[in-house]
Chains A and B, each alone.
Chain A
């Protein structure tokens, strides 16, 4: 019963709240890494795993901010742009890496929205890239 109610609420939510085409979606996640911001930033520039998924647009050294586009085309989201920032952590040997992604669902026309082309699907797919991506990068930096 709980599941059914949850599903109904989810359907209502996705139909009414996210039925509009022009709204960009946002996924923003952070991870704390046991390394100085400078070390983490240099590691980010060299880390090859992320470059397999995303094309680098720019690395701004002064701001410790990297900009990416998506390489992969067969995904349930569109117009993906992301940035990864390295910030100071609680102490000198700690940094916070924040990944912010902006994208849209694949179906941009009037409702009804076909299954698998809605905002919820797009957000879930991007979360699958961002979360494990940050974890993988954390392991890489901390094993250096």
Chain B
């Protein structure tokens, strides 16, 4: 009898503990989902120390350093799937990071140097420029495996995806050309750019490419294939466009050129950290972020006023060639 009473008592305690544990568990899941929905992050490839810095853009703090392969350079972020793909040119592989908990989940061997990466708009396929063997490699996002490749021009460098036309667009640095491929990997057009075309971006009917040796940006019309160039600062590296305004990193000047594509005039030139290379936006928080290779840092600007909000130390030789912000 006594024993039975005791066992009822213990089972009640046990029940109470399980219930409490369950409620606490639910609470943490709730907190976690809250975090996932609200925090924007920048992923910075540090080529000099083989790491990726994770910057919380809400708190403007470095929150984590993730070890990846050797000499990470290119990057692309899948917004819907919450995955980050990093190209390591020293170990010829791709590091895949789960952006929910910022952990490395997979390393994909390539056997060639991945220079830059992007994905299609459905986020089912990743495109990688293969610098040495003049290919575009494709990775299946579902399988996290190389799914194919196709031949392109010499020294493919930047790669971008045009959502409107479903085009894969690349810059071939050493042959000064831009190539446009359709989603079946068929060449649509090959066009001359300036000298050493590198960072490339495409939105709506246009392609924009930074010509490093010419100190210029080429603008290519995807409808009638017309083209014009405009001058920027010394050794431009990459370009982004938002609301018909182009933003360009000038590596040698330590500046960004802000160029109005409608009036075709430079509106402003702003100072960055040392040797700015790549840039990306976060429209939710109204931020413009650029990586500083020389400064081992990122500069964060108010995207509207273009005032510097903060320069944050990252790792050695910060680059992030590609889209690097999780919205």
Contacts and interface: CB of A to CB of B under 8 A. Distances in A.
- State which size class the interface on A falls in: 20 to 34
B131 A20 contact: yes
Interface in B237-256: 251-254
Contact of A26 (B89, B91, B113, B317): B317
Contact of B73 (A18, A23, A26, A83): A23
B324 interface: no
A51 interface: no
Contacts of A28: 294
B294 A100 contact: yes
A11 B254 CA distance: 35
B273 to A, nearest CB: 11
B180 to A, nearest CB: 22
A110 B132 contact: yes
Contact of B293 (A17, A18, A24, A67): A24
Interface string B273-296: 011000000000000000001100
Given A57-B252, A67-B253, A83-B294, A26 B70 contact: no
Interface in B70-110: 70-71, 73, 89-91
A26 B48 CA distance: 9
Interface in B122-174: 131-132, 155, 157, 173-174
A90 interface: no
Contact of B131 (A22, A26, A100): A22
A23 B71 contact: yes
Contacts of B303: none
A21 interface: yes
12 contacts: A16-B90, A17-B71, A19-B90, A20-B132, A21-B113, A22-B115, A22-B131, A23-B73, A24-B293, A26-B48, A26-B293, A102-B293
